[in-house]
Chains A and B, each alone.
Chain A
């Protein structure tokens, strides 16, 4: 089992906490790095490696406040990698949280959901 992937998060980069041992997968905060590629490639590599021997069930929790267009592309890429888990017979699902006043994040979640084949729940925050 790969070790955890952790990034603390900054003003323009999200906190990333992928912790297979505790079966916790979270992305939280803002995402509009200047170099999205440099930021997301290591995350994608880690996740790709994880899908080779994933937990019985993987639940990714996204609580994103803002994401720019290139981050959206990389996060979609990340969902596609997770989607591969379904072919191994194990399960994967995504919970996409949004503020009820925030169409921007809600719509982005709905777009992702429409383009994916894994359970993808849109959940309003209280």
Chain B
């Protein structure tokens, strides 16, 4: 991924309050963290918190489907071909999608189940549910039926689904459901986030080796759950805890900068962060708004940091460290200096003027 990737995603999710995209191996550990983060996100949106239980249930079903359908896929293939998970919120709508590889011979069966479930109304679904409970299964693959029926019942929507051919023996199975209070405009919701969005996000993430994209509020309490996912992800990739700490540190500094200095809309510091992996490095992108009159100063500071050698950066760091504390000290700029000391190639940055008051700043870091 490069610096332009940030805006590619931002542009497609700009009217979402929250958006979390995950492209990786779905393990029990990461499942719990993703649900925890999503629950946190939901409870922060007015009018949505009462759907928290429902949403958690639906997410858990999604993950179980991924794990169940993935049983036929070898570990090697799983490792190279990541599963996908998405949650988005706009207005009072909550959207959950997932995508995973399934073997060709299962497609027909899954498709039939989906069609059956989608053809039934609320009462018929309940009837089918009870019938399956009693007779254990409607499909050759035990259990798969119940989860789907429950997803359709809880959502009150048709489950959108698409199979995308991967190779001769496997396809990606994508499915998406929407949750909303009863008085929402259902037609509008489907147009806002078609399942084709989810598929294009996953493709982009696969192509550019992106692990996590999160858009939302970057106040400290909101970034703690994001950091847990990052931490968890880094643990599985790095044996060496130093590299893990370095990446974690850069992310903390960047997010806290956005929270402190970013443009605030009704006290919310909104931003987007992308975490990617290349062969030997991690890449971190951030994007957020800042006031136009802060642009020149920030650009100059970033350029100055790029112009300094590692030794000069070290000297600058120590001089900042030794500066005595002054009450109005906000951050003393020590965070960016510390980042610049730890990265392997220069900071890449870009400013785009949005309107008379604010600009969008993107930063791309290879560490």
Contact bitstring A34-57, B, C-beta under 8 A = 1, else 0? 100100000010000000000000
Contact bitstring B143-165, A, C-beta under 8 A = 1, else 0? 00000000000000000000000
Binds B, one of A18-26, A87-95, A99-107: A99-107
* A73–chain B nearest beta-carbon distance, Å: 6
Name the CB-closest residue of A to B342. Answer: A104
Q: Which residues of the partner chain A approach B325 to less than 8 Å between Cβ atoms? A: 44, 73-74, 77
Name the CB-closest residue of B to A33. Answer: B220
Q: Which residues of the partner chain A approach B327 to less than 8 Å between Cβ atoms? A: 37
* A21–chain B nearest beta-carbon distance, Å: 28
Name the CB-closest residue of A to B337. Answer: A69
Cα(A70)–Cα(B337), bound, Å: 11
Cα(A33)–Cα(B252), bound, Å: 10
Q: Tell me if B79 is interfacial: C-beta within 8 Å of chain A.
A: no
Cα(A115)–Cα(B249), bound, Å: 22
Name the CB-closest residue of A to B219. Answer: A34
Contact bitstring B235-268, A, C-beta under 8 A = 1, else 0? 0000011100110110011001001000000000
Cα(A72)–Cα(B318), bound, Å: 11
Binds A, one of B60-68, B273-281, B328-336: B328-336
Q: Tell me if B108 is interfacial: C-beta within 8 Å of chain A.
A: no
Given known A-B contacts A68-B335, A72-B321, A76-B321, A104 and B252 have beta carbons under 8 A apart = no
Interchain CB contact under 8 A, B245 and A70:
no
Interchain CB contact under 8 A, A115 and B321:
yes
Q: Which residues of the partner chain B approach A12 to less than 8 Å between Cβ atoms? A: 220, 224
Q: Which residues of the partner chain A approach B249 to less than 8 Å between Cβ atoms? A: 66, 68, 104
Interchain CB contact under 8 A, A73 and B321:
yes
26 A-B residue pairs with CB within 8 Å: A32-B252, A32-B256, A34-B219, A34-B220, A34-B256, A37-B329, A44-B325, A66-B245, A66-B248, A68-B252, A69-B253, A69-B335, A72-B338, A73-B325, A73-B334, A74-B325, A101-B240, A101-B241, A102-B245, A103-B245, A104-B242, A104-B245, A104-B246, A111-B318, A115-B318, A115-B322
Given A32-B252, A69-B338, 20 further pairs, Cβ under 8 A: A12-B220, A12-B224, A32-B256, A34-B256, A68-B249, A68-B335, A69-B334, A69-B337, A70-B334, A73-B321, A76-B321, A77-B324, A77-B325, A99-B241, A101-B242, A102-B245, A103-B242, A105-B245, A111-B318, A115-B322
Q: Which 5 A-B pairs have the closest CB atoms?
A: A34-B220, A103-B242, A104-B245, A69-B338, A69-B335
* A residues apposed to B, CB below 8 Å: 11-12, 32-34, 37, 44, 66, 68-70, 72-74, 76-77, 99, 101-105, 111, 115
* B residues apposed to A, CB below 8 Å: 219-220, 224, 240-242, 245-246, 248-249, 252-253, 256, 259, 318, 320-322, 324-325, 327, 329, 331-332, 334-335, 337-338
